[in-house]
Structure 1
């Protein structure tokens, strides 16, 4: 069965943008709808053990910034593609991506393999890996061209 509803989680990184490009191309070929979701990881930004907290003002500012960036991304990349919902959520991306896929009836999730780096990734683990393990539908992970070249150059 070919997918008709494709969910693309984005952290607004270059990797996520490449995954969106791939999803849009696929959607055009399959006459499918692309839905975007961005999750602001409040737990990842306010880790009590690290003494880092977020005020309501900072969270509100992040929501406004990310919503604008998400809307701009959808407008810029969605030309020629049937765009569905463009959603912004706050919480744990690992849970909310799969929950959103279920709510939208997504039959495919397309996402980048790398997003955040450094301490945040070490504390949280890989969002993509968690989504793959517990998704309600197939997940297509997309490596960036940069990742492919870095692997080849390191060899």
Structure 2
């Protein structure tokens, strides 16, 4: 049923809550798990240090992706980690098309009403516009 499972992550607690669900789904179907971190370049994210441009979001993304891939591999799930730059939901949807993703597993902060409307939501945009099923996992409120 599923050959490619996508786990978009931003390193937040909400995204971390989705990791075991994505790994379980990939394991159950023998699917490849794609862990994607999007360094949002729609906002200023780079700093200059001694004539070198360093993107701290990309470095953070590499650590987040590596951690999720390691957890998947502990369960013997084939996993690939990718860090890309761009707008978050647009990049996720492009990745879905480019990699023939069958299902997306994403965390959600569980915001409602005005709070959600004012802040916007990458997960909400993906749910509304993706051509594949999206499993949303609510952040644990502990």
Report the TM-score, using the length of structure 2 for normalisation: 0.81
**Residues 5-154 of structure 1 mapped to structure 2, 5 A cutoff:** 5-43=4-42, 45-46=43-44, 54-55=46-47, 59-114=54-109, 122=118, 125-146=120-141
Quote the offset at 1:55 in angstroms: 3.3
Count of residue correspondences: 135
User: Does the 8 Å CA contact 2:72/2:78 hold for their aligned counterparts?
Assistant: no
The answer to which structure has the higher strand fraction is: 2
Match of 1:153 in 2: none
Report the Cα distance in structure 1 between the residues aligned to 2:83 and 2:48, rounded to whole angstroms. Answer: 16
Q: Partners of 2:60 and 2:23 in 1: how far apart?
A: 23
**Structure 2 spans left out of the alignment, 5+ residues:** none
Gaps of 5+ in 1: 47-52, 150-155
